[in-house]
């Protein structure tokens, strides 16, 4: 998770002294190389002059040349041509240097430091430096709205500022941290919500097909069991083949009751049964599994509304795949608009190197991420906190 962004930020945060040392040793090496190339070039040129003299001498006697002598001249000309090659090598070096020069113009971090420590940071200079960060964020699946928010947050803290070079890195870093924190919502403690909430406390999980809803329910059930909180599972995906068996297997592995009916039955009726079961057996939590559905299918969204009407969930959790980037943001937005969501689980964060969705989804939907799915085992459910995000980005 955050592998690419973390590496990029780490490369910016290289201490200036380290960078300077690296630059100096690079320059030293280049100088040495140039000297070597220069020496070689000079020696070859001297040789060329000698050879040219010889050729001139031969030309003087051209009329009396034998076949062998003519061949010698041709060979000599070839040698002269070859001797000119180091000069073109020197030319290539020059273009390499040009590229290096371009790179040395700096990244987001170094450019900002340079500008902000020499004069009050202008909007133009900020925008110039921000471009580098903007590209990095977009390449890592951060949603456009979230990128704009980062820009606003950073610019409000930095434009018009001037500071000593020595304090600039820490201040810019702090501004970046704050910008990222401004995107995130710290989720309430789900355990506290359950403890202080109604009995039974009903949680419904939904999202499009195959995003990890059933697996996430099993993980949450496992977590509740570990905390000593009783729960029951509602097999309200009565549509997909083997969905009921899938939940039953989890239930039997975890030692948790699963309430189900036949395939094709009303998912709302199953949820109702599960809530009734919890009431009569004094079970604290009901976790409702639902069939994967596209938000574009009006009939499926209506079905979802009916389950919600009947089961009256205390929490509506949208489950989406972190790896799908901007797609999952759009899904969350659509589910929020149509049926409303209280929180989010982003699954498959373990295989998402970019992780931009984790940074963006709360800003776009204004809903907290409760958990990140980080694998296929029951224990692979990571409590989401702002602090963990900063840590994963190497900013804490
Ligand atoms: N790597 C990884 N795989 C996961 C994670 N969560 C779920 N999966 C896998 O994703 C696949 C689909 O998971 P399900 O829980 O069946 O997804 P679903 O949303 O219930 O699917 P439908 O009911 O068909 O809509 C399974 O192979 C899971 O093992 C996760 O956090 N990380
Ligand atoms: Mg499922």
Give residue-wise pLDDT tens across range 293-330: 999 999 999 999 999 999 999 999 999 999 999 999 99
- Residue 375 Cα: closest atom of ligand 1: 32
Task: Tell me the average pLDDT across 43-61.
Answer: 65
pLDDT at 86: 47
Closest ligand by atom to 241 CA: 1
pLDDT at 33: 58
Query: Ligand 1 centre and the CA of 146: distance in Å?
Result: 27
Is residue 235 helix, strand or coil?
strand
- pLDDT of residue 284 exceeding 60: yes
Pocket test for ligand 1, best of 218, 242, 347 (most atoms within 8 A of CB): 347
CB atoms within 10 A of CB 290: 28
- Residue 219 Cα: closest atom of ligand 1: 6
Cα–Cα distance, 166 to 43 (Å, whole number): 48
- Closest by alpha carbon to 159, among 169, 146, 145, 172? 172
- pLDDT of residue 362 exceeding 50: yes
Name which residue leads in pLDDT, 105 or 380: 380
pLDDT at 69: 59
Q: Residue 12: pLDDT band by 50, 70, 90 thresholds?
A: confident
The residue whose C-alpha atom lies closest to atom 5 belonging to ligand 1 is: 348
> Burial, 198: exposed, middle or buried (Cβ in 10 Å; 0-12, 13-18, 19+)?
exposed
Lowest mean pLDDT among 19-23, 47-51, 208-212, 266-270: 19-23
- pLDDT of residue 81 exceeding 80: no
pLDDT tens by residue, 234-255:
999 999 999 999 999 999 999 9
The residue whose C-alpha atom lies closest to atom 24 belonging to ligand 1 is: 210
The residue whose C-alpha atom lies closest to atom 26 belonging to ligand 1 is: 212
pLDDT tens by residue, 13-28:
765 555 556 666 666 6
Query: Ligand 1 centre and the CA of 48: distance in Å?
Result: 73
> Burial, 178: exposed, middle or buried (Cβ in 10 Å; 0-12, 13-18, 19+)?
middle
The residue whose C-alpha atom lies closest to atom 6 belonging to ligand 1 is: 212
CB atoms within 10 A of CB 164: 9
Lowest mean pLDDT among 34-48, 123-137, 320-334, 360-374: 34-48
- pLDDT of residue 387 exceeding 60: yes
Instruction: Give the distance from CA 101 to its chain's centroid.
Output: 29
pLDDT at 10: 82
269 in Cβ contact with 306 (< 8 Å): no
Alpha-helical segments (H) within the chain: 3-12, 16-60, 67-83, 85-103, 108-116, 123-139, 144-158, 168-181, 190-196, 213-226, 243-254, 267-280, 298-311, 326-338, 356-365, 386-392
Query: Ligand 1 centre and the CA of 321: distance in Å?
Result: 9
Query: Ligand 1 centre and the CA of 319: distance in Å?
Result: 10
- pLDDT of residue 256 exceeding 60: yes
pLDDT at 87: 43
- Closest by alpha carbon to 133, among 91, 101, 73, 175? 175
pLDDT at 17: 55
- Residue 373 Cα: closest atom of ligand 1: 31
> Which residues' Cβ are closer than 6 Å to ligand 1?
209-215, 237, 240, 243, 292, 347-348, 350-351, 373-376, 380
Query: Ligand 1 centre and the CA of 3: distance in Å?
Result: 22
Pocket test for ligand 1, best of 1, 210, 303, 321 (most atoms within 8 A of CB): 210
pLDDT tens by residue, 89-121:
444 555 555 545 554 567 888 889 999 999 999
Closest ligand by atom to 378 CA: 1
Name which residue leads in pLDDT, 194 or 83: 194
Mean confidence (pLDDT) of the chain: 86
Q: Do the bridges between strand 381-383 and strand 369-373 make them parallel or antiparallel, or are there none, so unpaired?
A: antiparallel
Lowest mean pLDDT among 88-102, 329-343, 381-395: 88-102
Which percentage of the chain shows pLDDT scores above 70? Answer: 78
Which sign, positive or negative, has the C-alpha torsion 20, 21, 24, 26? negative
Which residues are paired to 345 by β-bridges? 319, 371
pLDDT at 88: 46
- pLDDT of residue 9 exceeding 60: yes
Cα–Cα distance, 9 to 22 (Å, whole number): 18
pLDDT at 239: 95
Residues bordering ligand 2, an ion, CB closer than 5 Å? 213-214
pLDDT at 4: 85
Cα–Cα distance, 326 to 361 (Å, whole number): 9
pLDDT at 107: 86
* pTM metric for this prediction: 0.80
Q: Residue 154: pLDDT band by 50, 70, 90 thresholds?
A: very high
């Amino acid at each position: 998770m955050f592998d690419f962004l973390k590496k990029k930020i780490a490369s910016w945060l290289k201490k200036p002294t380290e960078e300077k040392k690296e630059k100096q040793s690079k320059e030293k090496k280049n100088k040495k190389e140039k000297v070597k190339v220069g020496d070689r070039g000079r020696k070859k040129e001297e040789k060329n002059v000698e050879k040219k003299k010889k050729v001139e001498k031969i030309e003087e006697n051209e009329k009396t040349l034998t076949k062998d002598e003519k061949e010698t001249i041709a060979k000599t000309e070839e040698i002269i041509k070859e001797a000119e090659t180091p000069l073109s090598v020197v030319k290539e070096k020059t273009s390499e240097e040009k590229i290096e020069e371009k790179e040395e113009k700096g990244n987001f971090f170094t450019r900002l430091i340079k500008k902000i420590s020499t004069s009050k940071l202008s909007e133009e200079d900020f925008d110039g430096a921000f471009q580098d960060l903007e590209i990095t964020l977009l390449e890592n699946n951060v949603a456009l709205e979230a990128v704009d928010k980062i820009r606003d947050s950073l610019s409000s803290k930095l434009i018009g500022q001037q500071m000593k070079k020595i304090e600039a890195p820490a201040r810019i870093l702090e501004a970046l941290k704050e910008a990222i924190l401004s995107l995130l919502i710290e989720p309430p403690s789900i355990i506290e919500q359950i403890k202080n909430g109604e009995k039974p406390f009903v949680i419904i999980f939904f999202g499009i097909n195959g995003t990890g809803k059933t697996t996430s329910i099993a993980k949450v059930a496992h977590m509740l069991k570990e905390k000593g909180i009783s729960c029951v599972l509602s097999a309200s995906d009565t549509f997909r083949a083997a969905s009921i068996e899938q939940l039953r297997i989890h239930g039997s592995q975890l030692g948790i009751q699963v309430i189900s009916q036949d395939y094709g039955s009303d998912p709302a009726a199953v949820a109702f049964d599960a809530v009734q079961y919890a009431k009569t057996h004094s079970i604290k939590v009901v976790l409702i599994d639902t069939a994967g559905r596209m938000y574009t299918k009006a009939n499926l969204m209506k079905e979802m509304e009916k389950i919600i009407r009947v089961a009256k969930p205390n929490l509506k959790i949208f489950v989406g795949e972190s790896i799908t980037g901007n797609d999952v943001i759009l899904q969350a937005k659509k589910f929020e608009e149509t049926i409303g969501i209280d929180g989010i689980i982003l699954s498959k964060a373990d295989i998402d190197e970019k992780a931009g969705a984790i940074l963006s989804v709360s800003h776009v939907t204004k809903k907290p991420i409760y958990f990140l799915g980080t694998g296929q085992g029951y224990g692979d459910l990571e409590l989401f906190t702002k602090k963990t995000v900063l840590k994963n980005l190497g900013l804490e």
